[in-house]
Amino acid sequence: MFVRPTPETAPKPSSGGRIDRLPQYAILRFAKHKGNPARPLEAHHERQKEKYASNPDIDTAKSKYNFHIVKPEGRYYHFIQSRIEQAGCRTRKDSTRFVDTLITASPEFFKDKPPKEIQAFFQRTADFLIQRVGRENIVSAVVHMDEKTPHLHLTFVPLTKDNRLCAKEIIGNRANLTKWQDDFHAYMVEKYPDLERGESASKTGRKHIPTRLFKQAVSLSKQARAIEAALDGINPLNAGKKKEEALSMLKKWFPQMENFSGQLKKYKVTITDLLEENKKLEARGKAKMKDTMERAKLESELHNIQRLVERIPLDVLAELKRQQQHGKER
């Protein structure tokens, strides 16, 4: 989800009275898949459901404005399987069978642009990828106009020119991903000179925070609030029953929280550094882009989780650890 600037983050007049333009970025991201997610991915990309409770940003009244650059020839899975068989490739359980590419730009880029200009922009982005991965390997290329920021989902089978299924060779390692980003920016800036190249992760040392961690944080935070309510309800008259209720909830929550904490460790530096950067940007009136809101939201959820950990009564925590230890010994 991309968020439009608020009054606090909107462009500020310079000392000469001129309004400074917010930077405009071209965005390219890859997600590798092993095959099973083809059906739900197809349902999302091709808007095959009536309601999208998991994504409130989708405005189905605007879905009629979505358009294809490459229409799927049939079901995603069947096309993917057919291309792999035509190439004579052997697959393993852990083989990447298809890649989902997200291409967009910062919201400021699309502001006041008519539909024809937006269509031309995405046609050019698609051309960049088609030249590199082959038109024959494209499963679908669809532009979503029914969310907050227009974006292209281009799905392809990662077949090399000599017909090997090898996403690693096509997308490559971190250094190669940086080259992808450099080449993409160079290609797009020929037509759209205002687009800027964001600082690469290889230079900043940052890692993109996966969406799944945001979802886990939200889920854990929601459970934490329910557990806090149970803890708040403990009094001398119902201590036994309420304590057992809280213990039961904590037994499910605690292992999830420990797993989440372990995954988060490798992203902790990223969050800390970027939150600090946010403060500097806000001080200069230049807070912007998706990461600003994502980090703020994640930080809020982390505070909720940490607050619960700190307020679990010692006797409840001791009983929880005793039960966990007993479970391991059985």
| Shared domain check, 281 and 217 | yes
| C-alpha to C-alpha distance for 86 and 163, rounded to whole angstroms | 9
Name the pTM for this structure.
0.58
Last residue of a domain, one of 204, 231, 255: 204
Amino acid 247: pLDDT: 80
Q: 147 and 239, same structural domain? A: no
Cβ 156 vs Cβ 139: under 8 Å: yes
* Residues of the domain holding 188: 24-204
Q: Is 3 a domain residue?
A: no
Is 182 contained in some domain?
A: yes
Q: DSSP per residue over 87-135, as a string?
A: TT----TT---EEEEEEEE-HHHHTT--HHHHHHHHHHHHHHHHHHH-G
- The verdict on residue 147 lying in a domain is yes
The verdict on residue 236 lying in a domain is: yes
Q: Are residues 136 and 50 in the same domain?
A: yes
pLDDT in tens, the chain (330 residues): 333 333 333 444 444 444 445 668 888 889 888 866 677 888 888 887 666 555 667 787 888 999 999 999 989 989 999 999 998 988 888 889 999 999 998 888 998 899 999 999 999 999 999 999 999 999 999 999 988 889 999 999 999 989 899 988 998 887 788 889 889 999 999 999 888 876 555 555 555 566 666 677 778 888 888 888 877 777 766 667 777 787 888 888 878 877 777 766 666 545 555 555 555 555 555 444 455 555 566 666 776 677 777 777 677 777 777 776 766 555
Residues 187 and 58 in one domain: yes
Distance, in Å, from the CA atom of 223 to the CA atom of 305, rounded to the nearest integer, reads 9
Domain end point (choices 170, 187, 204): 204
The pLDDT of residue 18 is 42
**Claim to verify: residue 280 and residue 169 sit in the same structural domain:** no
- Tell me: do 179 and 325 sit in the same domain: no
Q: What is the pLDDT of residue 36?
A: 65
Residue 208's pLDDT is what? 57
Domain check: are 37 and 184 in the same one? yes
Tokens read off for 4: 């439009």
Which pLDDT score, from 0 to 100, does residue 289 have? Answer: 46
What CATH number did the domain enclosing 125 receive?
3.30.930.30
Asked if residue 15 belongs to a domain, the reply is no
Name the DSSP class of 159. Answer: B
Cα–Cα distance, 295 to 27 (Å, whole number): 18
Pairing outcome for strands 98-105 and 67-70:
unpaired
Give the per-residue pLDDT at 165. Answer: 92
Co-location of 59 and 197 in the same domain: yes
Number of domains into which the chain is organized: 2
> Is 321 in the same domain as 303?
yes
